[in-house]
């Protein structure tokens, strides 16, 4: 039986959809009925609600050891997708608790229960730092602790260290580092907000470049790696590097909205992230713009997908071709 943590999240929900389509016996962890309903809604979106009923759901938490032990009963493979995604500096302790300590718990239970293989869903945020904007970031690019990283990046990097510890102790592992993942169903969070903002009439664009991938391609490569003999390696999952302006223009065309016409300069976002910090300090609420996010909107960061192509003969749907499938 397969265990999926984070099955109520964006990637985890799509993973459950793919696994149930192949009649795999799957158990998924959920914390609240509200979060579980998000996955049910995704299955309904794909008109495959009947597959949702094949999932064995168990209410648990990756930091509740007693419940985790129950969740691991009769499990042979684990996909660890659960994580907290936040770029708000005030969430540092939560990020460490969930992303690092929670992953350590999963690794420990995998070792204790003699799990055949673990797939950990990391992020390109956990990768090393390119020396120049022209350099491609690969799986072997060195992490530079002296550079500015978000707490999210630091905790995903720390979680990978826990996975490598498990590998040193005899656990078969693969790590995937997805780029910005695009897909349907979660419009109020993550990359889904790009669609929502364009639909509302986004007027601004930036000229930064980063990597994107379809969620279906992410899931396909996770499953391919788990069904292979590959172990002890990490893989960047990216279809292509795209300029933010181009992506937003493509989405605007699909939604039949006007393309943004105002370039948001770096000095402008430098002001905005400071104002956002002041606003949330006074009035509360979540940070929507931080220094690291501001920098990423303007900088060119290029990622290589050569390793996964060589390992699994992976092919990826071009993002411009995939976007029309996501029309809300």
Helical segments of 22-150, H only: 33-45, 49-52, 65-71, 92-95, 102-112
pLDDT score recorded for residue 319 = 95
Flag whether 245 is in a domain: no
Structural domains in the chain (count): 1
| Helices and strands in the chain, H and E counts | 14, 14
pLDDT tens for each residue of 118-175? 999 999 999 998 888 778 999 999 998 888 889 999 999 999 999 999 999 999 999 9
- Please check the confidence at residue 259 and state whether its pLDDT lies above 60: yes
- Please check the confidence at residue 197 and state whether its pLDDT lies above 90: no
Flag whether 307 is in a domain: no
pLDDT band at 316 (very low <50, low <70, confident <90, very high): very high
**Cα gap 151→92, rounded to integer Å:** 6
Length of the chain, please? 328
pLDDT score recorded for residue 328 = 57
Flag whether 290 is in a domain: no
Identify the domain containing residue 7 by its residue range. 2-184+212-237
Q: Which CATH number goes with the domain that contains 161?
A: 3.40.50.720
Flag whether 168 is in a domain: yes
Flag whether 315 is in a domain: no
- Please check the confidence at residue 185 and state whether its pLDDT lies above 60: yes
Flag whether 312 is in a domain: no
- The mean pLDDT value of the chain amounts to 91
Flag whether 323 is in a domain: no
Can you give the pTM of this predicted structure?
A: 0.94
β-pair partners for 34: none
**Cα gap 150→170, rounded to integer Å:** 31
Flag whether 207 is in a domain: no
Residue written as tokens 């997908």? 305
Which DSSP state fits 325? G
Query: Which residues contact residue 160 at a Cβ distance below 8 angstroms, ignoring those fewer than 6 apart?
Result: 120, 122, 126, 175, 234
**Cα gap 298→149, rounded to integer Å:** 16
pLDDT band at 243 (very low <50, low <70, confident <90, very high): very high
Over range 189-211, report the average pLDDT.
86
């Amino acid at each position: 039986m397969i265990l999926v943590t984070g099955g109520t999240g964006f990637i985890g929900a799509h993973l459950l959809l793919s696994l149930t389509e192949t009649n795999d016996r799957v158990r998924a962890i959920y914390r609240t009925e509200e979060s579980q309903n998000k996955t049910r809604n995704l299955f309904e979106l794909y008109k495959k609600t009947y597959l949702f009923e094949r999932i064995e759901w168990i209410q648990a938490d990756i930091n509740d050891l007693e419940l985790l032990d129950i969740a691991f009963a009769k499990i042979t493979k684990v996909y660890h997708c659960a994580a907290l995604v936040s770029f708000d500096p005030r969430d540092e302790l939560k990020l460490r608790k969930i992303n690092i300590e929670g992953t350590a718990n999963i690794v420990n239970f995998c070792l204790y229960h003699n799990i055949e293989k673990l797939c950990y869903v990391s992020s390109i945020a956990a990768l090393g730092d390119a020396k120049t904007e022209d350099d491609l970031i690969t799986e072997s690019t060195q992490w530079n602790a002296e550079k500015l990283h978000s707490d999210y990046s630091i905790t995903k990097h720390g979680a990978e260290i826990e996975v490598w510890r498990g590998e040193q102790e005899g656990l078969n592992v693969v790590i995937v580092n997805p780029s910005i993942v695009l897909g349907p169903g979660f419009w109020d969070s993550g990359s889904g907000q790009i669609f929502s903002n364009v639909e509302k009439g986004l007027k601004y664009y930036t000229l930064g470049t980063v990597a994107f991938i379809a969620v279906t391609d992410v899931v396909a490569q996770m499953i391919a790696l788990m069904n292979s003999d590959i172990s002890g390696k990490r893989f960047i999952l990216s279809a292509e590097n795209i300029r933010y302006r181009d992506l937003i223009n493509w989405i605007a065309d699909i939604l039949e909205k006007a393309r943004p016409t105002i370039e948001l300069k770096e000095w402008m976002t430098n002001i905005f992230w400071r104002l956002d910090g002041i606003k949330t300090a006074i009035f509360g609420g979540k940070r929507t713009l931080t220094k690291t996010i501001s920098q990423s909107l303007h900088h060119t960061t290029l990622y290589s997908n050569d390793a996964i192509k060589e390992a699994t003969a992976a092919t990826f749907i071009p993002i411009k071709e995939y976007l029309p499938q996501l029309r809300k």
